[in-house]
Amino acid sequence: MNDLTNPKQYENPLLNNVITNNSNISDEHLSPGKRNLRNWLGKPFRIVITDGRVLVGFFNCTDKDSNIVLSMCAEYLEEGQDARILGNVMIPGKHIVSVSVDMPAQAVLLGLPQRHR
């Protein structure tokens, strides 16, 4: 079955309109880091940059220089203020202070040993 006749339903309804062939790619030969990146595709990211702004959007890609591309991105200048909608953005890696992935903690890092409490 192809993705067009039986699309995967995402928790975020905005993602249900996106067509991708990503599910057809086997990840058995990928390193744990690449598996994590693949798992994070389309997940909400919260990125703090050096000037204090917070960018929230869906993860699209990264590169060897740690640049990150987000789609449907919103910019927050201060906590509690309204967001400014930016759309698609590329954040240079040199300006990234922190990155948070919005998904269950046990699903964030695939293939890495779990710590025992």
User: Residue 70 belongs to a domain with what CATH number?
Assistant: 2.30.30.100
Is 1 a domain residue?
no
Q: Is residue 14 part of a domain?
A: no
- Domain holding 43, by residue range, is 29-102
56 domain-assigned: yes
Residue 22: inside a domain: no
The predicted structure's pLDDT at residue 117: 36
The count of structural domains within the chain is: 1
- Residue 21 maps to a domain: no
| Single pTM value for the model | 0.68
Using 50 as the pLDDT threshold, list the residues of the chain that sit under it. 1-4, 113-117
Burial state string for 25-51 with b = 16 or more CB within 10 A and e = fewer than 16? eeeeeeeeeebbeebbebbbbebbbee
88 and 109 Cβ atoms separated by less than 8 Å: no
CA triple 100-107-59, angle to 5 deg: 45
In a domain, 46, yes or no: yes
pLDDT in the model for residue 9: 64
Residue 8 located in a structural domain? no
Residue 6 in domain: no
